[in-house]
Amino acid sequence: MEYRTQYLTRQTQGDAAAEAPSCPWPPTDQPCGDEMGVLPPCAPLATPYVPFQQNNPQTYTAKKGVIRGTLFPGLDLPFMGKVNNTELSNTPMHELQALSFALVELGLYLDTHPKDTQALELFHSYHELMDKGIAQYEATYGPLIQKNSSKNGSYDWLNNPWPWDYEANATKEG
Amino acid sequence: MFVYEKRLQYPVKIAKTNPKLAGIIISQYGGPDGELGASLRYLSQRYSMPFPELKGLLTDIGTEELGHLEMIGTIVHQLTRNLTEDQQKSAGFAPYFVDHGAGVYPQAASGTPWSAASMQVKGDPLTDLAEDMAAEQKARSTYDNILRLSDDPDVNDVIKFLREREVVHFQRFGEAVQRLRERLNEKNIYYMNPALDM
């Protein structure tokens, strides 16, 4: 039970102990370029390591990020140079898709980097834009979620087009 | 619980009907490395994850994968809309058409129906995260192969988006392994199963 006891000891010391392992980890500054991650200087054997993305990474705008499939230039690793360059239009649909994508991407980042305050601020600023984005979307296309289906005095949830219909997807140019 | 948003994560607008290509893309709907397996894998693995950062990441990526499942279904649907009689009979699509018409059915391009045997929930966080990293690589390779096989720019635009998501998810799962290691005994991270013994 020696190892188990050691774990319990560390646990009772709380987060402070977890942040101070025998090798300094994670680094507090950005020791590598933005497209590089960091690895612990000392690490247990026989387990996979992916370089950890550093705090406060560079970001694309939401409109560029959504067509590239990532908000982070450092993670933008296309196949055989095949990249999307045509940005989405300014329709309420595309605005919402870009904003929502930025929130999804930053949400996953924050799941593994919950203490990155600058990423949290960015997440918050996109969230504030979402309320306006949803209002503009629903004024143009109808309800985004079923509970918003009675705003016009009729049940307009069923109205075509549905998302998989060709007609629902404006061209990227608008 | 889940609430449906009546929109796609990313626009899908396929101008040209192409049932043969639909028969290839369907593999990312119900094939061994497709989006259905991805979403069910992550959403099912959540329950035995002992730490909040792992519960959260699996919930969030699993949910995003459901959106990708819908996008792949949309590609298949739009590639098979308004089929002519010749297109219904076309080589490469008739075997699918006889069973499913222009419906979207979860199967591999080979015709094998989707199977939970293509995924795993081991109930051991390190094991499950290693599976998830492999799953993201397999899906990324499948999208690479689709980009080799397809010359439809409308389809490839969407495939490039989905492929890049696999790269990002791989990165996050790799970071999740690090977060998990930090919670384990560094002298023997395999001392016990943290889903059962902590």
The Cα of A55 is separated from the nearest Cα of chain B by a number of Å equal to 13
pLDDT band for position B153 (cuts 50, 70, 90): very high
Q: Which residues pair with A37 in a beta bridge?
A: A53
**Inter-chain touch B171–A171, beta carbons under 8 Å:** no
Residue A165 backbone dihedrals phi, psi, to 5 degrees: -70, 140
DSSP string over B155-192: HHHHHHHHHHHHHHHHHHHHHHHHHHHTTS-TT-TTSS
Residue A160 has pLDDT above 80, yes or no: yes
| Residue B15 confidence class, pLDDT cut points 50, 70, 90 | very high
pLDDT > 60? residue A140: yes
CB A69 within 8 A of CB B160: yes
Tokens standing for residue B28:
């990312």
Nearest to A44 among B61, B167, B186 (CB): B186
Cβ-in-10-Å burial (0-12, 13-18, 19+) of B120 comes to middle
- DSSP state at residue A25: -
Match 């996008």 to its residue by tokens. Answer: B71
Average pLDDT, chain A: 86
Is ipTM beyond 0.90? yes
- Taking residues A100-109, report their average pLDDT: 98
Instruction: Give pLDDT, residue B186.
Output: 87
Instruction: Select the residue of A25, A52, A169 nearest B11 (Cβ to Cβ).
Output: A169
Of A18, A80, A145, the CB nearest to B5: A145
Tens digits of residue pLDDT in A15-70: 444 444 445 566 667 778 999 999 998 899 999 999 999 999 999 999 999 999 99
pLDDT number for residue B7? 97
> How far apart are the two ends of chain A, measured CA to CA in Å?
64
Task: Write down how long chain B is.
Answer: 198
Q: Do A69 and B130 touch (CB under 8 A)?
A: no
Q: What is the three-class DSSP state of B130?
A: helix
Q: What global pTM score does this model have?
A: 0.93
DSSP A38: E
CB-CB under 8 Å, A52 with B164 = no
How many A/B residue pairs have CB atoms within 8 Å? 175
Q: Which fold has domain B19-197?
A: Ferritin (1.20.1260)
Minimum distance, in Å, between the CA of residue B64 and any CA atom of chain A? 8
Percent of chain B with pLDDT over 90: 96
B32 Cα to chain A: minimum distance (Å):
21
Mean pLDDT over B53-66 rounds to 98
pLDDT of residue A12: 42
User: If you average pLDDT over residues B82-102, what whole number do you get?
Assistant: 93
- Comparing CB atoms, the residue among B8, B64, B174 nearest residue A104 is B64
How far is Cα A50 from Cα A52, in angstroms, rounded to an integer?
Answer: 6
Rounded distance, CA A142 to CA A140, Å?
6
A75 contacts B57? CB cut-off 8 A? no
Tell me, what's the pLDDT at A93? 96
From the CA of B136, how many Å to the nearest CA of chain A? 13
Q: Is A56 left (phi over 0), alpha (psi -120 to 50) or beta?
A: left
Residue type, B9: Q
Q: Per the structure block, which two tokens stand in for A148? A: 């918003």
pLDDT at B9 over 80: yes
Q: How many CA atoms lie within 13 A of A53 on its CB side?
A: 32
Q: What percent of chain A has pLDDT over 70?
A: 80
Max Cα–Cα distance, chain B, nearest Å: 66
Say if CB B146 and CB B28 are below 8 A apart: yes
CA distances from A52 to A41, A112, A166, B163 (A): 12, 9, 40, 20
Tally helices (H) and strands (E) across chain B.
9, 0
Q: Which of B168, B170, B181 to mutate to test the interface with A (most CBs of A within 10 A)?
A: B168
Is residue B79 predicted with pLDDT exceeding 80? yes
Averaged pLDDT, B192-197? 97
As given in the structure block, the two tokens for residue A112 are 């593994």
Determine the distance from the C-alpha atom of residue B177 to the mean position of all C-alpha atoms in its chain, rounded to a whole number.
20
Q: Which two tokens stand for residue A9?
A: 């000891």
SS3 A52: strand
Q: What count of other Cβ atoms lies within 10 Å of the Cβ of residue B138? A: 17
Q: Which of B133, B144, B198 sits opposite A79 (nearest CB)?
A: B144
What pLDDT is attached to residue A2?
43
Instruction: Say which residues have a Cβ less than 8 Å from residue B193's Cβ, sequence separation at least 6.
Output: B123, B124, B125
In angstroms, what CA-CA distances link B1 with A104, B18, B37?
18, 36, 19
What is the structure's pLDDT at B90? 86
In angstroms, what separates the C-alpha of B115 from chain A's closest C-alpha? Answer: 24
Torsion of CA B39, B43, B46, B47, to 10 degrees: -150
pLDDT at A172 over 60: no
Q: Using an 8 Å Cβ cutoff, are A27 and A51 in contact?
A: no
